[in-house]
Amino acid sequence: MNPTYESIRRSIESGETSCETITAEMLGAIDDRPGLNAFLAVFRENAIARAREVDRKFRDGTAGRLAGMVVAVKDVLCLRGERVTCGSKILESFESLYDATAVSRLLNEDVIVIGKTNMDEFAMGSSSEHSAFGPVLNPVDSTRVPGGSSSGSGAAVAAGMAHTALGTDTGGSIRQPAAFCGVVGMKPTYGRVSRYGLVALSSSFDQIGPFAHSTADAARVLQVIAGKDDADSTTSQDPVPDYLASLTKDVRGLRIGIPEEFLKEGICDDVLAAFHRAVDRLKEAGAKISNVRLPHARYHIATYYILMTAEASSNLARFDGARYGYRSPRAKDLQEMYLLSRSEGFGQEVKRRIMLGTYVLSAGYYDAYYLKGQRVRRLIQSDFLEAFRAVDALLMPTTPTTAFRFGEKASDPLQMYLSDVFTVSANLAGTPAISVPAGNDSEGLPIGIQVMGKHFDEATVLKVGDFLEEEVT
């Protein structure tokens, strides 16, 4: 139904269509469904102007690798001269001075950035209900959440408002909305994509990744944004392999592991059925399926929320009303400037996590929470290293359920946190993981299947994702 970039490019090159036409269509799709609230900013004039420029490049034969691809960018990534709100009132009118590395690498390959997408405030949330600018509706069923925190990016791609989108994934914020919206979403290995220009939620977990209709398009975007960046010390020097070359549909002999701990309880029947269908397809195609153990699986959520909030509490300290962003007009002195600006500028969930994180780093609690959390994280990482000695990839559902209803979990943060149960592990371990559509449940809501791979082995993850996407949907 949705064309891949390859076919789009072919029709531009053949003169059948143009970047300008495509961009105009996408802008039309955005205008057709304003209630979706997927975008916080739409670059109408700029996108059309740029589309014309890229059309010229096509004529000149100088078009870049992703020329004409229309991309939506999560509003937590910086674009020079454009607002970067992070879904927060505290940065409502803040404009960035520079481009995020991932965005500028895409621009260098002639993509057309159509706008900035809505999100849970500072990427904290799984439903878009924490956006200061109203929730994003799920394009498949507007009574349902689109997932989060990259809610607008997932919804925009699913609703045909962009070919691909950039999101960020700290504990599932790409994969979960991809699963809920029925698109492909990938979190690369920690260190594969530069975080420069990504307004940090949790620095040791955050990664930028693509949303797309196909694994192939996700691979195309990853190909461009991946690789060493001098501006981010945590990026890897490892060369970036040719990802498209790995999409052979040949899974013969691949060793696929099923983490038993994850399948014990709490997964709804339709998701479980879709998962088993995927396992059967792989088996039939010659993959070797085996069970693997992740002994510390039950500590994943707790460990994640301790360490993530700790880092977040420090990362968000800079939003203090002193230099940029919201400053409370009621503040009469320095203390009040901090207290009131932050109390009024941040939403509930952000304040909750700042308080949790401040607590776990506090004198007297540091050892019991932060330090212990770090130790458990290392145990979790070694669980995965151990598992990946026996298998090439792990397979699991992306989420225990399909998209839930608005309000269903908003009042209970713990229930909301638990919906991240299958996704946080890839961030704890730093491994790459993809969510691909795997059919629909009985209510017609999309189901996502997740493939996780070894560090820097995005190629295998993409290969299995590509196979499943084709065979199951």
Site string for another protein, 369-408 (x = CB under 8 A): -x--------------------------------------
Residue among 1 and 363 whose Cβ is closer to another protein = 363
Identify the residue among 3, 25, 228, 338 touching another protein (CB under 8 A).
Answer: 338
Residue among 232 and 471 whose Cβ is closer to another protein = 232
Nearest distance, CB of residue 100 and another protein, angstroms: 6
Residue among 117 and 419 whose Cβ is closer to another protein = 117
Residue among 10 and 318 whose Cβ is closer to another protein = 318
Nearest distance, CB of residue 212 and another protein, angstroms: 23
* Whether residue 11 lies in the annotated active site: no
DSSP-derived pairing of the beta strands 255-259 and 184-187: unpaired
Tell whether residue 234 is a contact of another protein (CB under 8 A).
yes
Tell whether residue 310 is a contact of another protein (CB under 8 A).
yes
Identify the residue among 199, 271, 340, 421 touching another protein (CB under 8 A).
Answer: 199
* Whether residue 74 lies in the annotated active site: yes
Nearest distance, CB of residue 232 and another protein, angstroms: 5
Nearest distance, CB of residue 355 and another protein, angstroms: 13
Catalytic residue among 18, 74, 88, 202: 74
* Whether residue 142 lies in the annotated active site: no
Tell whether residue 332 is a contact of another protein (CB under 8 A).
no
Site string for another protein, 74-113 (x = CB under 8 A): ---xx-----x-x----x--x-xxx-x-------------
- Please report, as ranges, the residues that interact with another protein according to CB under 8 A: 77-78, 84, 86, 91, 94, 96-98, 100, 195-200, 202-204, 230-234, 310-311, 313-314, 316-320, 322-324, 334, 338, 358, 361-363, 366, 370
Residues with a known catalytic role:
74, 149, 173
